[in-house]
Structure 1
Amino acid sequence: MKNSWVIFKTDIQNISRNWVAAILIGGLVFLPSLYAWLNIYASWDPYAKTDQIPVAIVNEDTGVIVRGEQLNVGNQLVDTLKDNRDMNWSFTSRKSAMEQVEYGDFFAVIIIPNNFSEKLASVVSDNPQKADIEYYVNEKINSIAPKITEKGATVIVQKVSSQFISSVNGVIFDLFNDLGIAIESDLPDIQNFENYVFKMEKELPTIHKLLTGVQNDASSAQKIISQANSMVPRAEQITTEGLSSIEKTIDFLTKAQSRLNELAPVVENDLKKVSEIAQSTNEFIQNVQNVQLDFTELDRVKEDLDNKITSNIQTVDSIGKDLNWLKEVANSSNDSNLEENSVEQQTKIAHAIDRTNELKAFLQEAQINARTIDILVKDKEQQMQKTLNDLQKIAQNTSVQLDAFINEYKNTIEPTVLSEVAKAKKTLANAKEMLASIQSTLPEVTRTLNSTDAHIKEGKTTLDQSLAQYPYISDKVNQLADRIRKVQGETNISEIIQLLRNDPQAERSFFEEPIVLKENKLFPIANYGTGMTPFYTVLAIWVGCLLLISLLATDTNHESSVSERAVYFGRLFTFSAIGLLQSLIVTIGDIVLLGVDVKDSFWFILFGFLISFVFMSIVYTLVSVFGDIGKAFAIIMLVLQIAGAGGTYPVVLLPEFFQAINPALPFTYAVDIMREAVGGIVWQRAIRDASFLLLFSLAFLIFGTFLKEKINRKTKLMLKKSRESGLFH
């Protein structure tokens, strides 16, 4: 170890005494820092200048009329972007934009199509369609720019979507608010509806029974209407026959009235004759009683008296026949059931017939008594006188009765009969008019019956369908009632109304941004450059090691008594010292010159020393042991570690090969421990990273300590041969 320190001191003295060597070493100390600083500064905040990325906006939206109002979302978007500074927006035509994006003047083109507003407005129709925004990007220009412009396009889509959702939801919640107010005002009706459903559920069996009864009644009504239809022809026949009978009766009464008018003077004359004969008979009998009778003239007197009485009997009998004929006329009127007065008419005529029969009886009795005069004269003159007296009384009584009958006939019988006949004619005329009306109504009755039959058939069909649907309706009503009970048990309609009546503006704001990302940064990093500082600092330290082993010799012109092991450690001290200077300059420069926000600056510098020593152990050992081949190994390790250490992209995003070698790369732990110092140390991770780094260093130091001399003897011949080519030193 003593010889190693001698070699180290000699190297320091040689550098300090040789100004050229000092300048070269100074350059090697600062060069790695420039590599780190320039890369960190370049990536300090790449997204701060996206406003310089040219992106074209083409608005072809023609707008749409929605509920009488013009809507043009494209114009609204253009107005919004004119005040936006996220990118360098240019508003142009499709043709110009496409030409310039192909040439590279624009990184991307966003085209709003002509049906953009129309498709957005289709949300209120029964066939809503999603709106499209065309996006064209020239990925040839730059690998990162397309991602940035894509993000800008995504932001536009999200902004339009959020604003549209906010507007639509604002309208919806305005409607909900109105609906809540309407439901609140209709709450009694809703409760009544619930009660109605429950009542319907309860009354369903009764409704089914009623429908069944109505169905049966409809069937019965169909039968009745069918029977009525079948009876209409008979009714028409009866009406026709009734009209014919009434016509005949009216003709008969008209003839009877004419006959009565003709008969009345005849009957009156006959009654006068009978009265005159009765008076004459009475006078005759009185004369007979007052004179001395000549019995020789008795036969003549008897014959004369008998003839007169016979004539009176015949006249009275003729009157009785006429009265019987009138009675038949009254009966004929009564058979037609047209007037209640026909009963009174029959009674009066019957009375007149009775009076006529009584008069006839008196006359017949007088004739019989007159015929007994001859016997009485022969037997008893005195008795004859008595008979004459009786005959006189009968004649006198007959005369009185005839006068009364004549008076009654003229004042009662004749006017009554004529009045009743006129009434019968009027009643029959009314009956004729009524039957004619009935006859004219029969077609309408037939049409009505047919229409009613059709309606009843239609109603019965509906009833049959209703009864067929009854099980389904009953099931649905029961389900609805069960759901209402369930809803009543699980929800409160007042709460629903309160929910619907929430502030529409607040609801619109909520749906415009329903989720707010509340970011909590556990280890906040100021910017992208700060985030990349660990990687570029570690990379600069490794590059510094490569520069040193490329320019400085790993071997010395030592005496043969100095071992290879002493040379190995002697030059290791020299390389490590220069490496520590490189690490010190780059870490302090990150903090002081660039202003990197490092949470633990002290540990950031110390971790830099640790990484520099570990990397120098690895690189120096490879070159010291393998020579130029070792340099190639160091470069290969650099390439692998840049891609596989997870310095720029997360390890999980790398290909499987790099994911597999990641745990075996020193960069993995070097970058990680520097991140701890920049963001905030979690000592468990920091100790783990430091332990792995020391293990790498220890492994290579052991390898160089024990194998350098053996491997060098075998590689000297290869080194000599390569120098003979004049290409290698």
Structure 2
Amino acid sequence: MKNSLNIYKVDLKNIATNWAAMILIGGLAILPSLYAWFNIAAMWDPYSNTGNLPIGIVNEDKGATVRDQEINAGKEIVDSLKDNKNMQWYFTDRKDAMDKVEYGDYFAIVIIPEDFSEKLGTVISDKPEKAQMEYFVNEKLNAVSPKITEKGASVIADEVSSKFISTVNGIIFDLFNNLGIEIEGNLPDIEKFEDYIFTLEENLPEINKMLNESLGDANSAGEILNKAQGALPQAKEYTNTGLTTINQTLDYMNEAENRLNSIAPKVKKDVAKVQSIADQINELLEKAKDSKIDIGEGKRVQENLEKQLDDAITTLSTVEKALQQLQETNAQLPPAIDGESGEEQETEQLSQDQINQAISQTADLRNSLEQLRTDVNQMDQFLNNTEAASKVVDQIHQAAANTNVKLDEFVKEYQNNIEPTILEEVGKAKETLTGAKGILVEIQSTLPEVEKVLTNTQKNLQEGKGMLEYASGEFPYVNDKIKQLAEKIRDVQKDTDINEIIQLLRNDPSAERSFFEEPVLLNQNALFPIENYGTGMTPFYTVLAGWVGALLLISLLAVDVHHDGIYTGRQVYFGRFFTFWTIGIVQTIVVTLGDLFLIGVNAKHPVWMVIFALLVSSVFILIVYSLVSVFGNVGKAMAIVLLVLQISGSGGTYPVQLLPKFFQAINPYLPFTYAVDLMREAVGGIVWGRALRDIGVLIFCGVLAIIFGAFLKEPINKKTTKFLEKSKESGLVH
């Protein structure tokens, strides 16, 4: 160790006595600090100057009309950006903007299309469309600027979205408020509807029963209508037949009435004639009785009587024939019409009996006159016998008298009963038949309407039956849905008070609008606050300066001494290391104090920052010095390779989780990883668990470097001497 210290003392003396060496060493002490200071200052607060980034804005929005209200979101964006200082906004047209972004005058441009407001307005339609903005960025100008300008474009989109959401939600909550007022006003109707649903649910079995019964009634009604329609042709036939029969009967009645009217005068005349003949006979017989009748006179009386009796018999035969014709006509009349009273039927029977009686009486009269005619015919047998003739005359006279009485009775019966009764009944029958004819005519005229009504009724019944069948078929579904609705209403009533819903809907619309404009406020709580980006990057660049300082030392200073065998390799290793380490300590003090006082880094633990930096610098000097001391120029290359790997893989600029898999794999084995982390503890706030871990790993790396250099320098130098000498012969390597 004594020899090593001697080497160290000689080095210090040489530096102190050689002004050139002193200047060189002074430069080596300061140069690494400049590397750190310039980078930290440049990155101190880069985002504070984004207002200098030129961004082009092109507004092509034509606006739109939504619910009779004009909107122009593009104009509102432009107006808001004119007061925005985050970036340097240039408002221009599409052609100029595209030319300048391609040339590099603008880092990026944002184009608001002509349908921007129109698509925003589709929010109230069935198929809303998202509004879009076009963003063009020239990424070749700078690696970081695209991210910054992208953030600016995102801010524009977020601002538009925020205002749009605020406006839409304001309208929605205005509607909600009005809806709450309306629901509150309709609360009685809502409660009534709930009661209606519950009542309907309760009456569902009865409704189902009524549907089934109605469907059954519809089937029965359908059968009845089918029968009625089937009976219509028969009813038409019966009506037509009835009218034909009534018309025929009326013809018979008119014929009978006409015949009766034509017979009546003749009967009266013939009966009067018979009476006259009977009177003449009686008168003749009276004369014959009172006077003496001789044969000549008797013969004349006999002939006269025979002639008169023949006329009377002929006349009575005519009357009898006329009554028989009347009997035939009356017999051809239709039977009693349904609905006639028993008295009317008895009257009809009586008129027929009277006609029969009149015919019988006429026959009796005719038979009496024929008998009288026979008696008169026998008078000539008794003319010679006065006494006998007188008896015959008396007998004839008595027969004539009886006949005359019968004639009187017949005439009275005919005039008082037969003729009036028949005429009256014929009139009644005609009146009844005329009424029946009118009814049948009315029925006949009504039958088409009845048929039409039956057809329509059957059609409507079929439709009604179809609806009933549909309703019956759908009843299980309706039944389930009503029960589900009733159950949901009960659940809502159990879980939610409608008055609470009304109260919720009737919140202040302006307050709700403000809430949805920014529904979440992010309260940032920095556990280890870092003032700015430069302060955050100080640990990395300070550590980097320590490694760069070590590289500068090995580039300008020799790691070996000219000892002509006086010192061993190990003594040279430690002796020259103390010189390197001393200069490294000076470098570290310069860079850390410059960070704190020259640049103005606000470290949480400035003293520990200096101490940790001294530890880091010592370890880095050991590693780099050991590599060059053992391997010579090859060791310098190895130190540079380690620098490159550690800049990328230590996580000093980006989180290691964002690095490729290779750098994630080597990260735990790099001294930079623990050196940067230890410096961050001093700058942001120490968590001693992490700090002690980092200190332990760095000390372990330093110990490995000492062991590696102290024990391998001499044997490896012997093997690489020829390689070094050969390389120096080139005149390019010292």
Q: Normalising by structure 2, what TM-score?
A: 0.79
Which SS does the other structure have where 1:609 is aligned? Answer: helix
Q: How does 1:491-502 map to 2 (within 5 A)?
A: 491-492=492-493, 495=496, 502=505
Deviation at 1:434, TM superposition (A): 4.0
1:406 to 398, 404, 415: 415
- Superposed CA deviations along residues 692-727 of structure 1, whole A, max 9, x for unmatched, are 000111111222223334444555555555555544
488 and 4 in structure 1: CA distance in 2 versus 1, 3 angstrom threshold: same
Residue 350 of structure 1 corresponds to: 352
Deviation at 1:607, TM superposition (A): 1.0
**Counterpart AA for 1:346:** E
Question: Which deviates the most, 677-686 or 691-700?
Answer: 677-686
- Superposed CA deviations along residues 8-50 of structure 1, whole A, max 9, x for unmatched, are 4554455455555444444433332222122112112222222
**1: distance between equivalents of 2:685 and 2:305?**
175
Q: Do structure 1's residue 99 and structure 2's residue 107 form an aligned pair?
A: no
Contact 1:274 1:402 in 2 (8 A): no
Contact 1:30 1:582 in 2 (8 A): yes
Question: Which deviates the most, 489-498 or 545-554?
Answer: 489-498
Question: Which deviates the most, 140-149 or 203-212?
Answer: 203-212
Structure 2 unaligned residues grouped into runs of 5+: none
- How many aligned residue pairs are there? 715
Q: Do structure 1's residue 269 and structure 2's residue 260 form an aligned pair?
A: no
283 and 177 in structure 1: CA distance in 2 versus 1, 3 angstrom threshold: farther
**2: distance between equivalents of 1:332 and 1:252?**
8
Residue 673 of structure 1 corresponds to: 678
**1: distance between equivalents of 2:546 and 2:534?**
18
- Superposed CA deviations along residues 448-502 of structure 1, whole A, max 9, x for unmatched, are 7777777788888x589959x94xx577457646754774676558739665963
**1: distance between equivalents of 2:206 and 2:529?**
70
413 and 560 in structure 1: CA distance in 2 versus 1, 3 angstrom threshold: closer
**1: distance between equivalents of 2:52 and 2:7?**
57
Contact 1:331 1:346 in 2 (8 A): no
Deviation at 1:596, TM superposition (A): 2.6
Q: How does 1:692-707 map to 2 (within 5 A)?
A: 692-707=697-712
Residue 526 of structure 1 corresponds to: 531
**Counterpart AA for 2:585:** L
Structure 1 unaligned residues grouped into runs of 5+: none
Question: Which deviates the most, 587-596 or 682-691?
Answer: 587-596
Residue 41 of structure 2 corresponds to: 41
**Counterpart AA for 1:502:** L
**Counterpart AA for 2:597:** V
Question: Which deviates the most, 588-597 or 712-721?
Answer: 712-721
574 and 225 in structure 1: CA distance in 2 versus 1, 3 angstrom threshold: farther
Residue 575 of structure 1 corresponds to: 580
RMSD (CA atoms): 4.8
**Counterpart AA for 1:662:** N
**2: distance between equivalents of 1:492 and 1:151?**
50
Contact 2:218 2:461 in 1 (8 A): no
**2: distance between equivalents of 1:559 and 1:395?**
212
179 and 323 in structure 1: CA distance in 2 versus 1, 3 angstrom threshold: farther
Deviation at 1:138, TM superposition (A): 1.0
Question: Which deviates the most, 637-646 or 116-125?
Answer: 116-125
Residue 623 of structure 1 corresponds to: 628
Contact 2:362 2:410 in 1 (8 A): no
Which SS does the other structure have where 2:47 is aligned? Answer: helix
Residue 661 of structure 1 corresponds to: 666
241 and 409 in structure 1: CA distance in 2 versus 1, 3 angstrom threshold: closer
Deviation at 1:205, TM superposition (A): 8.3
1:588 to 581, 588, 593: 593
2:602 to 587, 590, 597: 597
Q: How does 1:270-669 map to 2 (within 5 A)?
A: 270-274=270-274, 276=276, 292=290, 294=292, 315=315, 318-319=318-319, 321-335=321-335, 337=337, 340=340, 343=345, 346-347=348-349, 349-350=351-352, 352-353=354-355, 356-357=358-359, 360=362, 363=365, 395=404, 399=408, 402-403=411-412, 405-406=414-415, 412-413=420-421, 416=424, 419-420=427-428, 423=431, 426-427=434-435, 430=438, 433-434=441-442, 437=445, 442=448, 470=473, 473=474, 476-477=477-478, 480=481, 483-484=484-485, 487=488, 491-492=492-493, 495=496, 502=505, 505=509, 516-556=521-561, 561-669=566-674
| Percent identity over paired residues | 43
**1: distance between equivalents of 2:69 and 2:490?**
45
**1: distance between equivalents of 2:121 and 2:357?**
112
Contact 1:8 1:574 in 2 (8 A): yes
Contact 1:359 1:402 in 2 (8 A): no
**Counterpart AA for 2:348:** Q
572 and 301 in structure 1: CA distance in 2 versus 1, 3 angstrom threshold: same
- Superposed CA deviations along residues 278-313 of structure 1, whole A, max 9, x for unmatched, are 66677778x579x74646677876776676677556
1:683 to 679, 688, 696: 688
**1: distance between equivalents of 2:364 and 2:490?**
110
Deviation at 1:603, TM superposition (A): 1.8
Which SS does the other structure have where 1:525 is aligned? Answer: coil
15 and 496 in structure 1: CA distance in 2 versus 1, 3 angstrom threshold: farther
**1: distance between equivalents of 2:338 and 2:199?**
61
**1: distance between equivalents of 2:388 and 2:523?**
167
Deviation at 1:677, TM superposition (A): 1.8
Residue 189 of structure 1 corresponds to: 193
Deviation at 1:671, TM superposition (A): 0.3
**2: distance between equivalents of 1:614 and 1:159?**
51
Which SS does the other structure have where 2:505 is aligned? Answer: coil
Contact 1:338 1:427 in 2 (8 A): no
**2: distance between equivalents of 1:666 and 1:192?**
81
Which SS does the other structure have where 2:599 is aligned? Answer: coil
**1: distance between equivalents of 2:140 and 2:157?**
24
**2: distance between equivalents of 1:307 and 1:507?**
140
**1: distance between equivalents of 2:259 and 2:250?**
14
**1: distance between equivalents of 2:349 and 2:433?**
19
Contact 1:63 1:70 in 2 (8 A): yes
Q: How does 1:32-181 map to 2 (within 5 A)?
A: 32-122=32-122, 128-161=128-161, 163-164=163-164
